Amino acid sequence: MVFVGTGAIVVNHASGGVIGHAGIALTFGLVVLAMIYTFGDVSGAHLNPAVTLGFAAAGRFSWRDVPGYVTAQLLGAFAASGLLKVLFPDSATLGATLPNGGAMQSFILEVVLTAILMFVILSVSSGAKEKGITAGIAIGAVVGLEAMFAGPICGASINPARSLAPAIVSGSFQFLWLYPVATVLGAMIAVPICIGARESGCCGGKCD
């Protein structure tokens, strides 16, 4: 996901904007959709540490498995950014997410965006697995939608691994704290909201 998603940003810069913002947003949505249908039955298609933490907080994933999943997610992200650095050594940021405006504006946006994503994932997934006929479409669509409208302002990271890897590999440390903190906070906020929706009859009883 990181290789294709941030790779689209890098290629867009290298090609003079051929892909465009809409193409980048679509790339992120499509790769998430593809990975869910590919790995949903194997590992739950956990591509996002914030989502893994959200599943654990919702009681749908064992906390003892969280370190292994998060380590794998980070290793994958850093490997992807490392490969992009080799392929595109002139890229300044390797597709890192950076605020286009105030840091607090981007922080709040990332919290809200991740909360929405986590709510959707909890609502359409089965147990701790992002799988099923509609799960990939719904989750991929949300990722693409959020990247489409909020990407120009905050980068629409919604994934701490997606932000940490390109930032560290490229040496873009100025906003390193923002995206991990905001995305994890957003995922945690979504859990009680989804549980409340379940108790009120919304959410199909899937948030527990």
Domain ranges of the chain: 2-205
pLDDT at 43: 79
pLDDT at 41: 79
pLDDT at 39: 86
pLDDT at 160: 96
Q: Which CATH fold topology does 2-205 show?
A: Glycerol uptake facilitator protein (1.20.1080)
All residue ranges of the chain with pLDDT < 50 are none
Q: What is the pTM of this model?
A: 0.90
pLDDT in tens, 167-204: 999 999 989 999 999 999 999 999 999 887 766 655 55
Q: Which own/partner pairs from 86-93 qualify as long-range (CB within 8 Å, at least 24 positions apart)?
A: 88/10, 88/11, 88/14, 90/14, 91/10, 91/13, 91/14, 91/170, 92/170, 92/172, 93/166, 93/167, 93/170, 93/172
